[in-house]
Amino acid sequence: MTRIVRTRAELRAALDRVERPVGVVPTMGWLHEGHRALMRQARAADATTVVTIFVNPRQFNVADDFMRYPRNEARDLDICTAEGVDLVFAPPASEVYPPGFDTVVSVGAVARPLEGAARPGHFDGVATVVAILFGLVRSDHAYFGQKDAQQVMVIRQMARDLAIPTEVIACPTVREPDGLALSSRNVHLTPAERAAAPVLHRALVAARTRWAAGERSADALREAMRATLAGEPLAEVDYVSVADAAMLTELDRVEGQALLSLAVRFGTTRLIDNESLGAEPAVG
């Protein structure tokens, strides 16, 4: 039976009675198959599974994006129940950021490129809310999707630096049959944009294929992504990146582990995706 709590006090009381280890899946709701995979991973590894549902205003650098972020709590709760989640924490903003709240958690170098550069303030918002959620849930494990690879790196750095004893676990990206990575934002795509969006995955596959054939020039791999994206008129490229897997600095040559990533706009919807080179596909 899934229990829903909305305040810090209710959460604390509920957590006092649960079995450990505790696994948490932090979400902003509009749950999809990718979230369900995270919940299943938590259920397989942890005695208690907690899902948090909170659309965090502090991680949206554009107010409009926050307003139009999709929400459907009743549906989300049905999904949590179906997945056997023990506890859902769905707080109002005042419980996450109580009156007088005045702290920003700002991660350094790994948060600066890519999404950090494209969305100023975004990772401050993510690191701050996740630090609060980790503090409140006191989870042993936390599960995130590898689709947001840089977010996983930022959260790992934050947890390590702040000595938060929650292990951050990245789970493989879940894709539609045509390769589109699942994302709550996909709901905003028009039918034509939805048909065009798998080009992100095709671009990553094109670069990976060149790499697998022995190409080590990062520019050649970036060009492979750009050339694929150029074939899709609805795709407006924000960035393509071939970066080192540790700090996300752009590479000249791919000799060790690397992350291919891209951000592409379709009309008003911005999608991201990534693929690791030279490493196991997702960190377990």
Residues catalogued as catalytic: 35
Q: Of 182, 203, 230, 240, give the one whose Cα is nearest residue 35.
A: 182
Under the binding rule (CB under 6 A), the answer on residue 126 touching ligand PAF is yes
User: What is the longest distance spanned by two Cα atoms in the chain?
Assistant: 57
Handedness of CA 146, 129, 78, 83 (dihedral sign): positive
Q: Which of 130, 171, 243, 277 binds ligand PAF (CB under 6 A)?
A: 130
Of 77 and 129, which has the nearer Cβ to ligand PAF?
129
Of 153 and 254, which has the nearer Cβ to ligand PAF?
153
- CB-count burial class (<10 Å; 0-12, 13-18, 19+) for 210: middle
Residue 10, token pair as written in the block: 């209710």
Q: How far is the CB of 145 from ligand PAF (least distance, A)?
A: 7
Q: Which of 24, 114, 129, 260 binds ligand PAF (CB under 6 A)?
A: 129
3-state secondary structure of 264: strand
Q: Token match 């450990």: residue?
A: 20
3-state secondary structure of 94: helix
Q: How far apart are CA 149 and CA 207, in angstroms?
A: 17
Q: How far is the CB of 38 from ligand PAF (least distance, A)?
A: 10
What mask, x for binding ligand PAF by CB under 6 A, covers residues 22 to 61? ----xxx---------------------------x--x--
Under the binding rule (CB under 6 A), the answer on residue 148 touching ligand PAF is yes
Q: How far is the CB of 118 from ligand PAF (least distance, A)?
A: 15
Q: How far apart are CA 266 and CA 12, in angstroms?
A: 42
Of 50 and 126, which has the nearer Cβ to ligand PAF?
126
Of 126 and 277, which has the nearer Cβ to ligand PAF?
126
Q: Would you tell me which residues interact with ligand PAF (CB under 6 A)?
A: 26-28, 56, 59, 126, 129-130, 148, 151
